[in-house]
Amino acid sequence: MTTNLKEHFAAIALLAGSLSTMGANPPKQTERLNILWLSCEDISPTLSFYGDSTAHTPNLDKLAKESLVFTRAFATVGVCAPSRSSIITGMYPPSIGTMHMRTALDVAGWGNRKYPEKTLATDVAGKPVRQYSAVIPDYVKCFTEYLRADGYYCTNNAKTDYQFAAPITAWDENGNQAGWQNRPSGKPFFSVFNHDITHESQMWLNKKLPQTVKPESVPLPDYYPENSVVRQDVARNYSNIELLDQQIGEKIDELKKAGLYDKTIIFFFSDHGGPLPRGKREIYDTGLHVPLLVHFPGGAHAGRNDELISFVDLAPTVLSLAGIKPPEYMQGKAFLGKYKVPEPRKYIFGSGDRFDDFSDRVRMIRDKRYLFVRNFYPELPAYKDVAYRKQMDMMQELLRLRDNKELSGPTAYWFRLHKTKEEFYDCDTDPFNLTNKVDDPMYAAKINELRGALDQHINNIHDKAVIPESQMIEQMWPGGIQPVTAKSIVSNKKETIRISCSTPGASIGYILSEKEIKPDLNSGWQLYHEPVKAKDGMFLYVMSNRIGFADSEVVQIKTGRR
C-alpha cells in the first residue's frame, strides 16, 4: 500500500462520515445515507424530462420530478470501457492508459483475468495490439476503496469493464447476485446496478420483441435519411428505453419496500450516448451527452442544473456525499456534497482512440455552447467500419445508401473519407454538430480560446496517446509479460495483524475465517487499511493486487500469539 493511501485512510478514519449536500445540515455518523447507482448503457438524453417524450417512461419521469436533473452531463469517451475507467477512478482515460476500446475480456464481475497473446487490432503505427490489463499509475485506486475504508458496504451488479480486472479490494460483492440486500446490519451501502437492456446489442437481440413505440412516430435527427429500416431501428431504441423504465421502477420499488427510499441518494445515468449509428463511439454530443439525475431523500434540491458535469466528477462527488475528502490526485471535481468545488466547470474534455480494430486519436473540448475537435490523423475516415455495429439493420441500410450514392448533405457528413485537422461547432444552432465552422472568422476568438485550453489539458494530464498503443503496452508489460504483485508480508503479534506489500500501489485484501477454506475471488475479501484484531486459532488469507498486475499468491496463516 502506498504512503499516500495510508495517509488518506488514516485521515478519513477521523472524519465523522457525515453528509453535507448543498448547505444541508450534516446528520450524525449513524445516520449516514446510502448511495445507489442505477446506471444504464447507451442512451442519450432522449427522455421526456429532457424534452423528448417519444418513449413512455413513467418511473423515470416520477423520479426526475423529485430529483436534481443535470442538463449538461458528458461521458469522457463515447464507448463503454474507457468511459467506465474514468467513472471508477475519477481520472481521464488518456492520463492513465485506459483510452483504447477494449483491452481484454475483463467485462463483468471480477473479469476474465487471462490475457492470451492474441492480436486485437493494429495501432496508429500499424503495430499489433495484444490483450492486456491496463497498468495505471500506482497512486490511482478504484474510488470504492475509500468508501469501504470508511465503513460502506460496496456492491456491483455486475458490469465492470474498467480496462483492467477489478481488484478484490474494490467491492464487497461483485457479480450477478451482488446487492445492498446482503450488507451487514447497520452498515451504509454504496450499490451499483447496471441495466443493459438499452445496450447497442439489444438493437438486434430484441429485434423480435414487440415494438411499443411506432416507427412512423419517432423523430429522426438530421443525419438520418427518411427510410423505413432506419425508422424501425430508431423505434426499437425507444422501445428498449421503455423496457429500461420498467426495470428502474422495479429497483425503486425494492428500495421502498425495504424502507430505504428515504435513506438513500439515487443516481441515474447512462455510460455514454445512444446506441444508434453516429451516436455511440463519437466525440460529438451524440456520443458524449448523457442523462444524469440525482435524487435526495424527500425530493430535496429537486430542480434543473445546467452546469457542465464530466464523468470524471462522479467518483469525487460520491466520496464528497459520503463525507470523505476526495484524494488530490483525482482529476474530477465534486459537484455535490461536503467537498463540492466552489466554481463549476468551464470546460468538458473528451477523447477517442482505438474502437475495436480501428485506431485513431481525436480530442475534444466543449464549453456550454461550443465544441472544438482536434483530429491527430485527419487522413483517416470519419466513419469507422466497426463490425460489431454492422449487426444492426439500419447500419447495413446506411451503408447500402452510401454505396449507392443516395446520401447527401447532413446524412453523408459522417461518411466523409478525410477529416479536417480541427472542427468547430455551435451546439446551440447546430445541436447535431454537422456544420464545421472552424474557418469562420466570426468565431476566431472562441476557437483560439478552446484550442489553447485543449493544449493545456493534454499537457496537464500527460496524455499517453502521444505514443502508439503497442509501445504503451510494452511499458506496462515489459517483454509482453504481465507483472505480478508481490506476495503479502504478514506480521501477527499480540492478537494484532499487520500486512504490507512491497509492490508500489498494491491494495491488500484479507479473509479471517474460523475454519479452513479454499478462497476464490468471490470469498468476500475485506479491504486491509488498518491493523486487524484476531483471536487465536483463526485462519487468515491474504492477497494483494496492483491494478493491471496479476494477483499475488495467497498467503495463509493460522493466528496465534508469537
The residues annotated with a catalytic role in the active site are: 80
Which residues is 500 bridged to in the sheet? Answer: 489
CB 293 within 8 A of CB 69: yes
Query: What number of other Cβ atoms are within 10 A of residue 500's Cβ?
Result: 15
Which of the 8 DSSP states describes residue 312? G
* Three state DSSP letters for 176-233: CCCCHHHCCCCCCEEEEEEECCCCCCHHHHCCCCCCCCCHHHCCCCCCCCCCHHHHHH
Cα of 59 vs its chain's centroid, Å: 24
CB 41 within 8 A of CB 196: yes
Cα of 499 vs its chain's centroid, Å: 31
What count of residues does the chain have? 562
Torsion on CA atoms 124, 127, 129, 135, rounded to nearest 10: -80
Map grid coordinates 432522449 to a residue.
Answer: 46
Residue 83 three-state SS: helix
If you write DSSP's letter for every residue of 228-280 in order, what string do you get?
HHHHHHHHHHHHHHHHHHHHHHHHHHHHHHTT-GGGEEEEEEESSS-SSTTTT
Strand 189-195 and strand 34-40: pairing?
Answer: parallel
CB 202 within 8 A of CB 392: no
Strand ranges in 394-536 using DSSP code E only, listed in sequence order: 422-426, 489-493, 496-500, 507-513, 526-527, 532-533
Cell of 100: 483504447
